[in-house]
Structure 1
Amino acid sequence: MKVTVVGDLLLDVDINGTATRLSPDAPVPVVDVAGVRRRAGGAGLVATLLKRDGHDVTLVTAVSNDDGASHLRRALSGVALLAGSPMAPTPTKTRVRIGSHPMVRFDEGCAPAAVPECTAEMRAAIESADAVVVADYGRGITFNEDIRAALANAARRVPVVWDPHPSGSQPVTGVAAVTPNLVEARALSKAAGLDDAGLDPAGLDQKGKHVAESGRQLLEHWQSNAVLVTKGEAGAVLVQAGGSVDVPAPRTSVDDPCGAGDRLAGSLAVYLGLGLGLEDAATRAVSDASAFLAEGGAASLIVDTDAMEPEHPAPAPPPDKVTAVVELFGKQPNGPDGVHFAQAVRGKGGTVVATGGCFDLLHAGHARTLAAAREMGDCLIVCLNSDQSVRRLKGAHRPIVSMEDRAELLLALSCVDAVVVFEEDTPEECLARIRPRVWVKGGDYQPDELPEARLLATWGGQCVTVPFHPARSTSGLAEALAKVG
C-alpha cells in the first residue's frame, strides 16, 4: 500500500546501561553506558514502522541541516523523504535506560518552530496516497496552508488518520479518525473551550460513557468521521456520530509505552485503506499497538546502525544470508540478526516465511518441509528451540545434537536464510519479533487451528501447513542409532 506520512520529525536517542553503585557526589545512580542508539522519532517512527511492514512510504516533513539530521536520514533509509525548508536545531529526545527501565529523558530543541514551506512534490505525495497518517508533534508542519489544503482534498478520497498534539494544529474537516490519548484529549478540549470533566489524564477511574461524551464533543468540534481516544492498557473508546464503543486492549506487560500511539495511528490508516470498517480497524490497530509494546516498543527497533555506538561493536551481517549467527532472545541488547534480516526483506517489499521446531536429528522429512516453506516467500527463517527448551519438551536425554550444531546444519541448507534460537517452550515471542507473513507447520492440522494463527492475524500474517511425511522422524532415527550403538 502507498502510505504518506505527514508530520514532525524527531531524533530519539537511547542510552542503555547498568547501574550498580551510587555517585559519591550525590545519591544518584551511576550509569555505566553499554551503548547509544539513535532512531527516527515522531513522524519518522510512524514511517519506520510502516516501511517495516512492507508498505511504500513517503514522509512529508521538515529536516534541519545539523548533525542530528544526518542521523535521521540514515535511520530513514528506504523511506522517500520530502522535506521543506530546513529547521535548526533537530528536535532531540534522549532517554536513559537501566536495563529495560527508563530513568530520565532530556528534550532539546522541541519548541514550536517556523512553519516550513510546501513543495509541489509534497502536495503530490499527499494527493496520490492510498492512505495518509498525520503525526503532529507541534513543530509546525501541519500549520502550512498548502499542506492543509492537500490533506483536506485527500480526506475526501482516502482515509486520513490524524494523531494530534496539544501544540499542533486542528485536524482538517472530514478526516477518517483523530487519535488523541487521554492527556491530549483533555488538553485539546480545554484549548477548544469544551467540557473535559470526563477526561482524567491518568485514565484510571474513567467510566466509558464519560470519555465517550468528551469524544463526542471533540468529534463535533473537529468535524471528523471518528475520534479514537486511547486509554493505555485499558484500550480505547471509538466515538462516531451514531454512538461509541469500547475497544479493549490485550493484556500486555509494558516497561515503556513509547511509540504505542504511532503504531496505532499507522495501523489504523492501513486497515481503513484496506476497506475495513472503523470498529474492526480500530480493534486491530489497538491489538497492533499492544503487540508492538510486547516486543519492547520503540526501544526494540534496530535502525540507524551507522549511528550506533556499542561498547563492543558487533560485525554487520552479510547482505544476502545470515550464515553464522545463533541468537538467544534477551541476551543481545540490539536484538537477533534473524530479526534484522526479516526487517531488511520486508523493507524491500519481500515476503518473510518462518517455521520452527527442535530439528534434533535433521532428516529427509525436515528437508522437504523446509524446502516447501522457502517456496512460499522471499526468505525462510527457522525458529529453533534452545537446548534447555528441547530438554523441557522432550526429556533429560534430549537434545541429541547441540543447538549450535543444529543451527549450523540448518544454515547449511540453501533454503534456510537465518536461524533464531528461542528459550521459551513456544515460539510466540520469537514470531512477534520476526513478524513473518507466513508461518509454516508440517502435519495434519487445519491452519486456523494452529495456536500461532491468532498471533499472526494481528499483523495480517497467515498459517500454512505442508504434508507430513510418515516413517521419517527424529524419534525413529534415535531408536535406530541406539540399536547400532
Structure 2
Amino acid sequence: MSLEHEIVSAFPSQRIVVLGDVMLDRFVFGDVQRVSPEAPIPIFRFGHDDHVLGGAGNVARNVARMGGQATLIGVIGKDVTGRALAAAATREAGLTPSLATDARRRTTLKTRFVAQGQQLLRVDEEAAEPLAPDISQDLRQRIEIAADGANAIVLSDYAKGVLTEDSIASALSAARRRGAIVVVDPKGRDFRRYAGATVITPNASEAAQASGIDCDSDESASRASRAIADITGCSAVVITRGARGMTVLCEAQGSGRMVHLPTEVRQVYDVSGAGDTVVAALALALASGAPIDKAAQIANLAAGIAVGKVGTAAVEAAELRRAINASAVLAHDEKIVGLETAVSIARSWRLHDKRVVLTNGCFDLLHPGHIGLLQKAKALGDKLIVAINSDESIKRLKGPSRPVQNEAARAVVMASIAPVDLVVIFAEDTPIEVIEAIRPDVLVKGADYELDQVAGRDIVEAYGGRVALVPLEKGHSTTDAIRKAAAASVETR
C-alpha cells in the first residue's frame, strides 16, 4: 500500500472540528434559449433547485464525505434558511452540527443560477456584523466541548463575523491544550489574527493582499509564502493558485523547503467550494500523520476532483483513492503487478482521462534501442504498461538457451525505468490476452514490424484504439549482444 493510501485509510479515525461562517448554497438550474425583448438580458427558464451546505459547512461536509468525523460549529439565524441549513447538516453522515442560533441575525444564503453548466448570476443574502456577546460566549463553550478528542481544528473564515479575535483565540487555545493541529482558510488583509495556527491556506489573491507580493509566478508565490510565515508564525503555508496549482512552504520556521505542485484538474466545470475541499483534505491528511508536502499533494488531488463537478461539491473517499491510483508514481516493486491489478489500475487511469499505452516484448538484455522505444511509447500517452514474456514463453519462442535473465530480473529492471508505469508478465506466446483485458488506447511496437504482424492489432482497432510503429535506434540487438558475449567467452578460454 502506498503512503498516500495509508494516509487516506486513516481518515475514518480522525475527528475534525470546523469553526467558521456557515451558509447555505442554493443552486437554481434552468435553461436559456433566448434574450429578453424588454432588456438585453437572457431569459432563464426554471428547471429545479438544490440546497447544499456552503462555507464552513462545506468544509465539514467534505471531511465527512472523505471518511472523517466532522463537528461543525457556527451561527445561524432563526429563519427558514437557518432551519434548512441545520437540516442539511443533520442529514450528513459523519457530521455533527453544533450551531448557535441568533434570532437577530440572518442566515447567509448564496443563490446561483446555472444554465448549460455555466453560472449566470449569484445573489447573496447575508449578515456580516460582529457577534453579540451572548453568542460569542455560546461559541466559546461549543469550542471547548468539541475540541475534546479532536485531532484538528479548521478555521473557515468567510468574513461573515463568526471568526472574531475572541473565537479564534478560543480555538487556538483549545487546540494547544489538546495537541491538535489548526488549519486556517483565511480572509482579509491582516493575517496576524491567525498567529499560532499550524497551517494557513490562502488563495493567490488573499496571499497577495496579506503579503503585498503578487503570486503570478513560482518565485513570487514563494516570496509571498515566506512573508506570510513571518507574519503568522505558522509551521507551513499552502497557497492555492488555481490553474497554476499550489505553492507549499514546508517547515516554515526551519529549513523553509518550497514545493510547487501542478494542478490536477481534468476538466473544470465549477470552482464553487474547491477551496473548502482543499482545507478539508489537508486537515484530514495532517491529522493522519502526513508530512505537509504529502498532505498538500492529497489536497491537490481532491481539488481536481471537486472542480470537475457542478455546484458546491464534496469529494468522496473512493474518488480520492481512485485519483491517487491514477496519479501515483509507483515504487519499482509496486510497478510489477498481475493482469487483474493492471486492469483495475488502467480503468482508474481512464476515469481521470489518462491515455494508456501498452507495448510488449521479451526485453531480455536491455539496450539503448529498448530505452528509446519505451521513451517514444510513453510520449504517445500518459501511462505506459509493459507486458513482458515469461521465461517459458521465451523458451518456446527463442529456444532453450533463452532468456539470459529470468522473468523476475527482467521485470525489476523494466520497473526501474522512468517512463514505465506498470509491468505485467504474461505466459502465452502472444500478448493477446493482456491486450483484450487492458484495452490500451495505443499499442506500440518497433518499426521493424509491419502493421499486419502486430499481435492484437485487430482487437485494438476494433474498439477505436490505435497501433503505432515507432522508429528504432539502429545498431542495437539483444541477439547480437548475446552472440558477441558468447564469442568473447570462447576467445578467452
TM-score, normalized by the shorter chain, greater than 0.5: yes
Superposed counterparts of 1:412-431, under 5 Å: none
SS at match of 2:194: coil
> C-alpha separation between the residues in 2 aligned to 1:144 and 1:197?
25
> 1:16–1:453: structure 2 CA closer, same or farther, 3 Å change rule?
closer
Pick one of 346, 363, 368 that aligns with 1:451: 346
Distance of aligned partners of 1:29 and 1:59 in 2 relative to their CA distance in 1, 3 Å threshold:
same
Q: CA deviation at 1:154?
A: 0.9
How far has the Cα of 1:74 moved from its partner? 1.6
Select between 277-286 and 246-255 the one with higher mean Cα deviation.
Answer: 246-255
The alignment status of 1:249 with 2:254, answered yes or no, reads no
Contact residue 246 and residue 263 of structure 2 kept, 8 A: yes
Task: Give the fraction of aligned pairs with identical amino acids, expressed as a percent.
Answer: 27
Aligned mates of 2:289, 2:193 — CA distance in 1: 22
- Change in Cα spacing, 1:211 to 1:144, as seen in structure 2 (3 Å) is closer
Please report how far the alpha carbon of residue 33 of structure 1 lies from its aligned counterpart in structure 2 after TM superposition.
Answer: 0.7
Q: Deviation of residue 169 (structure 1)? A: 7.0
> Matched residue of 1:46: which SS?
helix
Please name the residue that 1:464 is paired with: none
Partner residue in 2 for 1:217 = 227
More helix by share: 2
State how far apart, in whole Å, the 1-side matches of 2:24 and 2:260 are. 34
Give 1:225 deviation, angstroms. Answer: 0.7
Once residues 167 and 126 of structure 2 are traced to their aligned partners in structure 1, the CA distance between those partners, rounded to angstroms, is 25
Give the corresponding residue for 1:198: 214
Residue 287 (structure 2) pairs with residue 277 (structure 1): no
Q: Secondary structure at the match of 1:58?
A: strand
Q: Specify the alignment match of 1:139 in structure 2.
A: 160
TM-score by length of 2: 0.58
- Equivalent AA in structure 2 for residue 109 of structure 1: E
Partner of 2:244: 234
Task: Identify which of 175, 195, 217 aligns with 1:154.
Answer: 175
Offset at residue 287 of structure 1 (A)? 1.1
1:92 aligns with 2:92: no
Counterparts of 2:167 and 2:88 in 1: how far apart (Å)? 28
Give the Cα–Cα distance (whole angstroms) in 2 for the partners of residues 18 and 451 of structure 1. Answer: 37
Structure 2 CA distance, aligned partners of 1:447 and 1:274?
28
Distance of 1:282 and 1:294 partners within structure 2:
19
Q: What residue in structure 2 maps to residue 407 of structure 1?
A: none
| C-alpha separation in 2, matches of 1:286 and 1:46 | 15
Q: Any conservation in 1 of the 2:31–2:46 contact (CA below 8 Å)?
A: yes
Cα displacement string for residues 23-47 of structure 1 (whole angstroms, at most 9, x for unaligned residues) = 1110111010101111111001111
- Offset, 1:166: 1.2
Q: What displacement does 1:456 show?
A: 9.7
1:101 paired residue number: 118
1:64-463 correspondence to structure 2 within 5 Å: 64-76=77-89, 77-78=91-92, 79-86=95-102, 88-114=105-131, 116-117=135-136, 118-143=139-164, 145=166, 148-155=169-176, 157-166=179-188, 170-189=192-211, 196-199=212-215, 206-239=216-249, 240-241=252-253, 242-243=255-256, 244-298=258-312, 444-446=339-341, 450-452=345-347
The aligned residue for residue 453 of structure 2 is none
Match of 1:56 in 2: 69
* Cα deviation, residue 167, structure 1: 7.4
Task: Give RMSD over aligned pairs.
Answer: 3.5
Query: How many pairs does the alignment contain?
Result: 319
Q: 1:158 & 1:264 partners in 2: Cα distance?
A: 19
| Alpha-carbon distance change, 290 to 446 in structure 1, aligned in 2, over 3 angstroms | same
Distance change (3 Å), C-alpha of 1:83 and 1:94: same
User: Is the 2:29–2:47 Cα contact (8 Å) retained in structure 1?
Assistant: yes
SS at match of 1:180: coil
Is 1:38 the counterpart of 2:55 in the alignment? no
- Within 1, Cα distance between the matches of 2:297 and 2:75? 32
Structure 1 residue 264 displacement after superposition = 0.2
Q: Classify 1:169/1:106 alpha carbon distance in 2 versus 1 (closer, same or farther; 3 Å).
A: farther
- Opposite residue 266 of structure 2, the aligned amino acid is T
SS in 2 for 1:104: strand
- The one-letter code sitting in structure 2 at the alignment partner of 1:6 is L
Structure 1 unaligned blocks of 5 or more = 190-195, 200-205, 302-338, 355-426, 432-442, 458-474, 476-485
- What's the TM-score, normalizing by structure 1? 0.59
Tell me which amino acid in the other structure corresponds to 2:116.
Answer: G
Task: Describe the shift of the 1:251–1:266 C-alpha distance in structure 2 as closer, same or farther (beyond 3 A).
Answer: closer
- In 2 relative to 1, CA 31–185 (structure 1 residues): closer, same or farther, beyond 3 Å? same
Separation in 2, partners of 1:145, 1:280: 32
Q: Which runs of 5 or more residues in structure 2 are unaligned?
A: 1-13, 327-337, 353-435, 437-493
Deviates more, 1:28-37 or 1:232-241: 232-241
CA shift digits 1:426-462 (9 cap, x unpaired): x99xx9xxxxxxxxxxx843469722456999xxxxx
C-alpha deviation, 1:207, in angstroms = 2.0
- Displacement, 1:197? 3.5
Closer, same or farther: CA 210–113 of 1 in aligned 2, 3 Å? same
Tell me which amino acid in the other structure corresponds to 1:211: A
Mapped to 1, the partners of 2:107 and 2:227 lie a distance apart of 35
Please say which structure displays the higher CA radius of gyration. Answer: 2
Q: How far apart are 1:223 and its partner, in Å?
A: 0.9
- The one-letter code of the counterpart of 1:181 is N
SS state of the match for residue 119, structure 2? Answer: strand
Q: Equivalent residue of 1:294, what SS?
A: coil
